[in-house]
Amino acid sequence: MEQGNDMKSLSQCRQRTISLQSPLGKIQVSGCENGVHTIQILMDVPPAERSGDTSLSCVVTVSNGQEEMGPELQHCVEWLRAYFSEPWTVGRLPLPVFHHPTLHGDSFTSRVLQTLVRDVKVGETVSYKRLAEMAGNPRAVRAVGGAMRRNPVPLLIPCHRVISSSGQSGMYMGGKGNHLKQWLLTHEMVKEED
């Protein structure tokens, strides 16, 4: 994850928030000229069903104007569009720059989120226990769960790919978004059409 500017500048950011209509419903993306701050999935509608003839897209529905969106928010929108229409392609795309204090520094949460985004690819899952091991502290399974709850940019940092050791999908968005987690995992299993 790119460090960007000093985190002191976070309080001085001129943030913009855009809304996207996605297969999961409305998503709000907040960011500034330095990067993406947060992504919120509002859960205003049930997730879209995928069928062979249905294109899943992501459309900007509210913004301060495309020109004023800024390059990092625009990059995030493009990444999300690719993810929802052709999830297998995002592994080849660079992630937007993150500009949130949770994602910078040397905290265990930051290390877990960095490990997750770097090492767990589209269509893969990892257990909380295995992710703790990968992040350098095999006994910190509960802390990994806490890191997933504090993830400010779900979808970009794929906390939905973290499951229990038993293979159960586990909680998502404090248990309110479990159906979305299942939708995302299923969505990522769709392979490129030949």
If DSSP states are collapsed to H, E and C, what string results for 102-113?
A: HHCCCCHHHHHH
Whole-prediction pTM value? 0.86
Six token digits for residue 6: 């000093």
Q: Over the stretch 110-168, which tens digit does the pLDDT of each residue have? A: 999 999 999 999 999 999 999 999 999 999 999 999 999 999 999 999 999 999 999 99
- Average pLDDT across the chain, whole number: 85
* pLDDT confidence of residue 149: 94
- Is 32 marked active-site? no
Percent of the chain past pLDDT 90, that is, above it, reads 59
Average pLDDT over residues 70-76: 90
At residue 5, the pLDDT reads 43
Question: What gap in Å lies between CA 33 and CA 96, rounded to an integer?
Answer: 11
Q: What is the mean pLDDT of residues 171-186?
A: 90
* Separation CA 6–CA 3 (nearest Å): 8
Pull the structure tokens for residue 110: 């930051």
Q: Which of 32, 58, 76, 159 is catalytic?
A: 159
40 or 192, greater pLDDT: 40
Q: Comparing C-alpha atoms, which of 122, 157, 162 is closest to residue 142? A: 162
